[in-house]
Amino acid sequence: MVTMTTVGYGDYVPVNEVERTVSVFIIVFSSGVFAYSMNTIGSILQSFNEDNIKKTRNMSIINAYMTRKNVST
């Protein structure tokens, strides 16, 4: 997660308490933003899957109805 706030090579490091405190808050905040982004992407992908499941369910209902009524395809 530190890579979100710096290149992570140790070129620049916090040297006093204020800089360390700010660094910790930035790292925690960016971790929250990253988690929110991943959750949003997961929700979008799940909604795509739900649409496909709904279409499949509806097609099976239609096919069952057509079979019961002896409708040829």
* pLDDT confidence of residue 4: 59
**What phi, psi does 43 have (nearest 5°)?**
-65, -40
**C-alpha 61 chain-centroid distance:** 31
**What phi, psi does 2 have (nearest 5°)?**
-65, -25
Q: To the nearest 10°, the Cα dihedral for 45, 46, 48, 52?
A: 140
pTM of the model: 0.60
> What is the per-residue pLDDT across 16-64, written as a single tens digit (0 to 9) for each?
999 999 988 988 898 899 899 999 999 998 888 888 899 999 999 999 9
Q: 3 or 68, which is more confident? A: 68
Question: Which letter does DSSP use for residue 8 in this model?
Answer: S
Tokens for 8? 């992570």
